[in-house]
Structure 1
């Protein structure tokens, strides 16, 4: 699916999402251009995960528009969004714990029928994630948290995404493992995959991202380059734990 000339790959216009009578996302606007790595930061409950789930099609919206490659996809089912190149690595990883690592990875390619391409992409994932290649026959539920996160990212890559949605990839992981995960994220971005990253570790996210959005109580309150947001006193105090 080709992006229409002059259009961002992803555009949210006045996006609104509600749970019952509670409005979780209150009319946000957001853009991602092809090839960008953009982060969405904010406190727990700000609406970040809800936003990613809506883009992926697993959370219905109450108002506004989600445009992908120039087309409105508000009511497009999640599996059709995946076929068009929108892949989500959910919070908590969401791997199939009773399947092997290899079976998990191959599940990412379930909508594809290009056998040679799938095998080539598996080899690419093994090169990017050598630890996972060593664990192929292992039941995924027995892996460490970091290894499970790598499997979840690898599985998403097997769908050949144009837009990769990453929800809290560093959650609960040791610092050295987080460093490895972000190396992988950076490698994926360098291959030209557009990434929208939700991350509690704001400092790390902003160091890696070209641009960022700050979300508070269902609204976008700040946006700018990664460097601009890292230097912003409000961001430094609220999300980097610094007294300014």
Structure 2
């Protein structure tokens, strides 16, 4: 059974069709990427998957269940978690309080403490700053907090929206190294990313989205070698 099956998904804002009948499948344990230019409909797709936007057509089946009518707050409880573009940390809470916000559906205190320690192992910088207010951190550190908070919610499917946005190249490398580690721990992931080269290098499969439609899909290595992808997204 697929972890996620999207069939003929349509999303519209007023009269504008942002997503025009796309199909997507993600198998359990896969790391899949969705690449495309700004305005292609990638973020609209992610927001619809977690119920933040209403679909105007098609179906979304997550973990064997149709998600129509599922309230937004229930997605996290079901293990479908999104790290939004712009990170969305709680600026006036400390790093550790932010991490604990990811575990608000849980009541296994020992497990929560163990997961916080695991996040500090992945991101030693956050351990140094655990009592610091998240709003005072750099963009890269805030991205680490957002990823750590998502780990605390024990996701079955993690959606990442533009994790490299606005970050220095060295920090981007670190973030993608952690994406690899989280994937290796068995978390299924859908990565939306403008840095097509990095996204395809880290993932197993990819979809290319243009003007609300999926125009190409396949093995990430094949997409990396495809001349159309290289010309459009890799600056070659």
For Structure 1 versus Structure 2, the TM-score category normalised by the shorter chain is over 0.9
How many residues were matched structurally? 236
1:26 aligns to 2:52 (yes or no)? no
Which of 63, 69, 79 aligns to 1:75? It is: 69
How far does residue 173 in structure 1 lie from its aligned partner after superposition? 0.5
Rounded to whole Å, the distance in 2 between the matches of 1:166 and 1:77 is 20
Aligned to 1:133: 127
Which of 156, 179, 193 aligns to 1:185? It is: 179
Rounded to whole Å, the distance in 1 between the matches of 2:133 and 2:177 is 25
Q: Once the two structures are superposed, what CA deviation does each residue of 1:174-214 show, in whole Å capped at 9, x if it has no partner?
A: 11000000011000000000000000100000011100000
1:228 aligns to 2:229 (yes or no)? no
Q: Once the two structures are superposed, what CA deviation does each residue of 1:78-123 show, in whole Å capped at 9, x if it has no partner?
A: 2211101001000000111111111111000011111111111111
1:93 aligns to 2:87 (yes or no)? yes
Aligned to 2:113: 119
Rounded to whole Å, the distance in 2 between the matches of 1:30 and 1:207 is 19
SS at match of 1:76: coil
Rounded to whole Å, the distance in 2 between the matches of 1:149 and 1:112 is 22
Q: Which runs of 4+ in 1 moved over 3 A?
A: none
How far does residue 74 in structure 1 lie from its aligned partner after superposition? 2.2
Q: Which moved more, 1:125-134 or 1:211-220?
A: 125-134
SS at match of 2:218: strand
Rounded to whole Å, the distance in 1 between the matches of 2:4 and 2:27 is 7
- Contact preservation (8 Å) 1:88, 1:164: yes
How far does residue 75 in structure 1 lie from its aligned partner after superposition? 2.1
Structure 2: gaps of 5 or more residues: none
- Contact preservation (8 Å) 1:61, 1:74: no
Structure 1: gaps of 5 or more residues: 1-6
Aligned to 1:4: none
- Contact preservation (8 Å) 1:89, 1:153: yes
Rounded to whole Å, the distance in 2 between the matches of 1:133 and 1:74 is 39
Aligned to 1:196: 190
- Contact preservation (8 Å) 1:93, 1:152: yes
1:49 aligns to 2:56 (yes or no)? no
